[in-house]
Amino acid sequence: MYQLTGVTKRYRRGKDTVDALRGIDLAIADGDQLVIQGPTGGGKSTLLQMLGGLDRPTNGSVLLDGTDLARLGETRLTRVRAQQIGFIFQSFNLIPTLTAQENVETALVPLGVHPGQRRQQAAEALESVGLGERLSHLPSELSGGQQQRVAIARALVKQPKVLLADEPTGNLDEATRDDIMSLLEGLWRDRGLTFVIVTHDSAIAKRAPRLATIRKGTLTVRESTPS
Amino acid sequence: MFFTYLRRELRRRRKAALVVALGLALGIGLVITVDSVSSGMDQAQGKVLKSLYGLGTDMTVTKAASAASATTRPQFNFNANSSGSSQSSDRVLVQGFQTLASSTATEVGAQPHVAKAVGGLNLQVLKINGTFTQGQFQPGQGSGQGSSQGGPGGGQSPQGQVRGGGAQFDANSYSVYGVDVSDLTLGPLSSSKITSGAGLTAADAKAADAVVDASYAKQNKIAVGSQLTIKGTKFKVVGISTADSGDAAADVYLPLSRAQTLADAKDKITTVYVKASDSQQISAVKSAIQKDVPGTTVTTSADLASTVSGSLSTASSLASNVGRWLSIAVLIAAFLVAGLLTSSAVSRRVREFGTLKALGWKSGRVTRQVMGEALVNGLIGGALGIALGLAGAYAVTAISPTLTAQLGGGGSAPGGGGPGGFGGGARQAAARTVDIALTAPVSVATIVLAVLLALGGGLIAGTFGGWRASRLRPADALRRVE
């Protein structure tokens, strides 16, 4: 589980200092789903980066199963990202020159999986998101929704403990958004993932069992009953 | 995954990759061409020098001619009374240098690091053939009237005029070289091949045998078996030699003792040809000879090379200075452009590399990917550069521009060797011009250098890009594109 205590992130922008996060305390239990909502520049993505070990807080601690990500060396932090955390980005962030299958394989490369097994696992992951027929397609040959499915397959192929999604439906139309959210929620339930979503979308927020709102770097958490 | 990713990325950015590769190719091609032309210059210079002292000779020992001996002129005596009959006279002169005792060769041979030393005698034969015709006395028309119209004898001689008469002489000058037949691996004849008949052998030490240079033989219609008369001595032509460089050191080669007899120079030589046991010891050998055999001039091939002037020297200097610096400048520019383009490509792929790092790729793996792409670019540039360089070298060889080397004409030779610079040749009493066709041989070492440069270029470019990629923090990389 995650345990964040007094997490502060301060940036310098020229002569000014910006407090992106101000003393955040947050606990996320294993298998929880948390939706983080808030205005642009409120600190949502920064908080997600702290949870994913992509950035370090200026102050405070980010414990994942008792390991403080804020204090880990770069090599170990990279290993934690490779083994335990899956990321989904708003812009999909697929490698444009690699096929869908190869894009999914990139998540298995740091784990040292044998190429043959890697290809098979990637194919299975794509099958599980409904893209079994699109293995050899380049991202440019796929729709936005399909690209996001490839990104989801890439995040899940290594069977992570945590899934972090940053505006996963931000670039999709409503129908595709619903498809993707249904897929993600299904996977979350089936696999018992700890799932954190950052979103602007109120429709997604309404469906969340637990909603956190972040404004000017300050977080408030509300337990809610999904509508 | 490494190769798949690499191949796809290179294909995606093929224009940028081509720019980098072409930049490197230009630099590498220029290096190969300049290097091969430079080798061609060295070879040409080597041929010129070889034509002077033969293959394998590291240095020669001579004694400069004194001012007095240098101005001695040959005297010829002809009988003006033998009207109409052919008269011939020839003089054999020691050419260019003062003589040394034959024992000098042994003395030099005993110096440390000297593998062998042989003596040679450099002669010039001046032969004059022709006839005198006496004038005919014509009695004067007014002799009966007792008038005197002049003429020797005045009034006591019959009056009249001497008409007609005169002289017709041909002057023929050629060079003769007395070679030590006990060792023909050193000296001028070593740079020639016997193309007809036989060469001189150790058994010919006293024989009246001669080897004639092919061009002199052709000019004078001399063949194997012909007789050659020098100062009254008849020599049998046993062989025709052709100089490797196309320019022979002498017209006629005789056994040393025979040449000494002709020149009245018993036990005298003009030149000692020296081969060092180790090419690294040439300077030491030179110093030792200068110290232990006083009054002599020691000229190494390096000394002689410095006396080569003319277009060969100018071109050689251009190749080694301007050409070399130009290729270095182009290479540096190509390396920098390759580095900057790779670095700029990394900047455009910030999100890509940020994503990979977020997925757990270590910085080293990302850096290796960038380095790999740059290295392949470098190798493509290297391959193109080698093709370009080979084409350049081939073009130079196909065109074969003729370069002129002037030997010894540009000033005095090192060590006071006198005009002609090097002490061993038979023809260098005056400045001498040799035409050499330039070639541009490409050696394996040059190709290896090109491959190393290509790898170096790729590594430099990869280091630029890899350094940038390794410093990317995933959060910064992802944030920057949001």
A 10 A CB-CB count for B167 gives 11
- Comparing B135 with A82, which gets the higher pLDDT? A82
Q: CB–CB of B360 and A75 under 8 A?
A: no
CB of A43 closer than 8 Å to CB of A18: no
What lies within 8 Å, CB to CB, of B304 at 6+ separation is B49, B52, B53, B407, B413, B421, B422
- Comparing B79 with A126, which gets the higher pLDDT? A126
Who among B11, B354, B359 is closest to A82 (CB)?
B359
Cα–Cα–Cα angle for B42, B47, B50, nearest 5°? 120
Q: CB–CB of B1 and A115 under 8 A?
A: yes
Band the pLDDT of B417: cuts 50, 70, 90.
very low
Domain spans of chain B? Answer: 2-50+311-480, 64-129+169-295
A114 SS3 class: coil
- The sign of the CA dihedral B339, B344, B350, B353 is negative
- Comparing B428 with B260, which gets the higher pLDDT? B260
Band the pLDDT of B414: cuts 50, 70, 90.
very low
According to DSSP, the β-strands at B59-62 and B271-276 are antiparallel
Per-residue confidence (pLDDT) for residue A47, from 0 to 100: 92
Residue range B265-278: mean pLDDT, rounded: 87
Per-residue confidence (pLDDT) for residue B82, from 0 to 100: 62
Point out the least confidently predicted range of A57-71, B324-338, B358-372.
Answer: B324-338
Per-residue confidence (pLDDT) for residue A142, from 0 to 100: 94
Residue B301 φ/ψ, nearest 5 degrees: -65, -30
Band the pLDDT of A198: cuts 50, 70, 90.
very high
C-alpha to C-alpha distance for A115 and A127, rounded to whole angstroms: 18
Q: Is the pLDDT of residue A8 over 90?
A: yes
Which fold, A2-223?
Rossmann fold (3.40.50)
Q: How far is CA B413 from the centre of its chain?
A: 16
| pLDDT > 70 fraction of chain B, expressed in percent and rounded | 78
CB of A180 closer than 8 Å to CB of A170: no
- Comparing B159 with B447, which gets the higher pLDDT? B447
Does ipTM top 0.90?
Answer: yes
Residue range B304-315: mean pLDDT, rounded: 66
Which H or E element spans position A28? Answer: strand A16-28
Q: How far is B342 from chain A (nearest CA, A)?
A: 17
C-alpha to C-alpha distance for B217 and B214, rounded to whole angstroms: 5
Band the pLDDT of B224: cuts 50, 70, 90.
very high
According to DSSP, the β-strands at A59-64 and A67-68 are antiparallel
C-alpha to C-alpha distance for A20 and A215, rounded to whole angstroms: 9
Q: How far is B465 from chain A (nearest CA, A)?
A: 18
Residue range A185-212: mean pLDDT, rounded: 87
Q: Is the pLDDT of residue B335 over 90?
A: no
Rounded to whole angstroms, what are the CA distances from B40 to A88, B55, B158, B314? 63, 18, 76, 14
Tokens describing residue B214:
């092919």
Q: B419-469: per-residue pLDDT in tens?
A: 333 444 444 444 566 777 788 888 888 888 888 888 888 888 888 888 888
Query: How many angstroms separate the most distant Cα atoms in chain A?
Result: 53
| A81 near B CB under 8 A | yes
Per-residue confidence (pLDDT) for residue A3, from 0 to 100: 94
Average pLDDT, chain B: 78
According to DSSP, the β-strands at B297-300 and B136-139 are unpaired
Task: Give the sheet arrangement for strand A194-199, strand by strand.
Answer: A85-88, A162-166, A194-199, A33-37, A210-215, A218-223
Unique residue bearing structure tokens 């520049």: A41
CA nearest to B362 within chain A: A78
Domain spans of chain A? Answer: 2-223
Band the pLDDT of B147: cuts 50, 70, 90.
very low
Band the pLDDT of A59: cuts 50, 70, 90.
very high
Tokens describing residue A227:
């509508």
Rounded to whole angstroms, what are the CA distances from A96 to A108, B134, B141? 18, 108, 122
Most B-contacting residue of A49, A85, A135, A164 (CB-CB within 10 A), to test interface:
A49
Q: Is the pLDDT of residue B249 over 60?
A: yes
Residue range B82-95: mean pLDDT, rounded: 75
Most confident of A48-62, B23-37, B260-274: A48-62
| A203 near B CB under 8 A | no
Residue range A173-183: mean pLDDT, rounded: 85
Per-residue confidence (pLDDT) for residue B426, from 0 to 100: 41
Q: With contacts defined as CB-CB under 8 Å, which chain A residues touch B349?
A: none
Tokens describing residue B176:
């003769």
Band the pLDDT of A121: cuts 50, 70, 90.
very high
Q: CB–CB of B478 and A81 under 8 A?
A: no
Per-residue confidence (pLDDT) for residue B418, from 0 to 100: 34
- Going by the DSSP 8-state scheme, the letter that residue B138 receives in this structure is E
Query: How many angstroms separate the most distant Cα atoms in chain B?
Result: 139
Q: CB–CB of A96 and B351 under 8 A?
A: no
A 10 A CB-CB count for A189 gives 12
Point out the least confidently predicted range of A183-197, A206-220, B159-173, B249-263.
Answer: B159-173
Residue range B398-402: mean pLDDT, rounded: 84
What are the start-end ranges of the H helices in B177-323?
214-219, 256-262, 282-292, 301-305, 311-318
Q: How far is CA A134 from the centre of its chain?
A: 23
Render B306-357 in DSSP notation, one character per residue: TTEESHHHHHHHHIIIIIHHHHHHHHHHHHHHHHHHHHHHHHHTHHHHHHHH
Band the pLDDT of B391: cuts 50, 70, 90.
very high
Per-residue confidence (pLDDT) for residue B411, from 0 to 100: 36
CB of B67 closer than 8 Å to CB of B423: no
